Amino acid sequence: MGMKSETHAGVKTSDQPVFFPASDPKYFGIVSEPATATAKTTAVILLSGTFGGTTTLGRNRFWLKMARSLAQRGHRVMRFDYAGIGDSTGEAVCHELEKPATEELRAAFDLLASRGAEDFIVVGTCYGSRTALVGSAEEPRVRAVHLLVPPIGSGNKGTGGAEHLAEFGTPVSLAKKAFSRRVLRRILNDSRSRLMARRVISLKVNSLLGRSSDDQRVNDETVYVSEDFYRPLRRLLERNVPIKFMFGEDDFFRTEFESAREGRLGPLLTAHSDRLDIEVVPGVVRGFLTIQVQDQCIESVLNWVEATGE
Amino acid sequence: MREDMAARRDPVTGSVEEVGFFGDTPRMMGWTHIPAEDVIGGVVICSSTHAELLKAYHLEVQLARALANRGVAVQRFHYRGDGNSEGRPQDLTLPNMVAAALEAKNLLETRVQVDRVATVGVRLGAFPAITIVETGQPSILWDPVINTHRFFRDAIRSHAISGIKNGAQPERESVTLERLESEGSIELLGYEITSEFYRSASNLDLATLTPDGPVLLVPFGTAEVGPLIEAWQEKSSSVTKFDGTANEAWWLDEQASHDRHERGSILIRGSAEWIVTQFQS
Question: Is A53 in contact with B56 (Cβ distance < 8 A)?
Answer: yes
Interchain CB contact of B82 with A (< 8 Å):
yes
pTM, full prediction: 0.88
ipTM confidence: 0.94
CB-side neighbour CA atoms (13 Å) of B167: 2
Q: What count of other Cβ atoms lies within 10 Å of the Cβ of residue B190?
A: 21
Distance from CA of A242 to the nearest CA of B (A): 30
Q: What is the pLDDT along chain B (281 residues), one digit of tens a residue?
A: 677 899 999 999 999 999 999 999 999 999 999 999 999 999 999 999 999 999 999 999 999 999 999 999 999 999 999 999 999 999 999 999 999 999 999 999 999 999 999 999 999 999 999 999 999 999 999 999 999 999 999 999 999 888 887 778 888 999 999 999 999 999 999 999 999 999 999 999 999 999 989 999 998 876 788 999 999 999 888 999 987 655 444 454 444 455 667 778 889 999 999 999 999 98
> Which of the residues A18, A20, A54, A95 would you substitute to probe the B interface, choosing the one with the greatest number of B C-beta atoms within 10 Å?
A54
Helices A171-178 and A191-208, packing angle to 10 deg: 170
Quick one: closest CA in A to B265, which residue? A92
Q: What count of other Cβ atoms lies within 10 Å of the Cβ of residue B157?
A: 13
B119: helix, strand or coil: strand
Q: How far is CA A279 from CA A4, A296, A301, in A?
A: 18, 11, 11
Q: What is the CA radius of gyration of chain B?
A: 19
For chains A and B, count residue pairs whose Cβ atoms are closer than 8 Å. 105
Question: A42 and A118 in contact (C-beta within 8 Å)?
Answer: yes
Alpha carbon distance B64, B27 (integer Å): 21
Question: Is B261 in contact with A92 (Cβ distance < 8 A)?
Answer: yes
| Phi, psi for residue B24 in degrees, rounded to 5 | -75, 160
User: Looking at the partner chain, which of A19, A60, A192 has a beta carbon nearest the beta carbon of B190?
Assistant: A60
Burial B25-51 (b: 16+ CB within 10 A, else e): eebbbbbbbbbeeebbbbbbbbbbbbb
Interchain CB contact of B16 with A (< 8 Å):
no
Question: Is B19 in contact with A57 (Cβ distance < 8 A)?
Answer: no
pLDDT digits (tens, 9 = 90+) for A102-124: 999 999 999 999 999 999 999 99
User: What's the average model confidence in pLDDT over A287-299?
Assistant: 97
A290: helix, strand or coil: coil
Burial B113-128 (b: 16+ CB within 10 A, else e): ebebbbbbbbbbbbbb
Helix (H) or strand (E) holding A143: strand A142-148
Interchain CB contact of B99 with A (< 8 Å):
no
Quick one: closest CA in A to B31, which residue? A87
Q: Which chain A residues are Cβ-neighbours of B58 within 8 angstroms?
A: 53-54, 85-86, 92
User: Looking at the partner chain, which of B4, B82, B258 has a beta carbon nearest the beta carbon of A190?
Assistant: B258
Q: Which pairs from B106-113 meet CB under 8 Å and 24+ separation?
A: B107/B22, B107/B23, B107/B30, B107/B32, B107/B75, B107/B77, B108/B32, B108/B42, B108/B44, B108/B73, B108/B74, B108/B75, B109/B42, B111/B18, B111/B32, B111/B34, B111/B73, B112/B32, B112/B34, B112/B39, B112/B42, B112/B73, B113/B39
B117: helix, strand or coil: strand
> Which of the residues A19, A24, A87, A288 would you substitute to probe the B interface, choosing the one with the greatest number of B C-beta atoms within 10 Å?
A87
pLDDT digits (tens, 9 = 90+) for A131-146: 999 999 999 999 999 9
Residues 6+ apart with CB under 8 A from A252: A160, A164, A286
Sheet of A276-281, strands arranged across = A13-20, A27-34, A77-80, A42-47, A119-125, A142-148, A243-248, A276-281
Question: B23 and A21 in contact (C-beta within 8 Å)?
Answer: no
Residue A218 pLDDT level (bands cut at 50, 70, 90): very low
Q: Provide the strand spans (E) within B41-83.
A: 41-46, 72-77
Judge if the upstream peptide bond of residue B26 is cis by omega within 30 degrees of 0: yes
- pLDDT number for residue B188: 95
Q: Which chain A residues are Cβ-neighbours of B255 within 8 angstroms?
A: 158-159, 182, 186
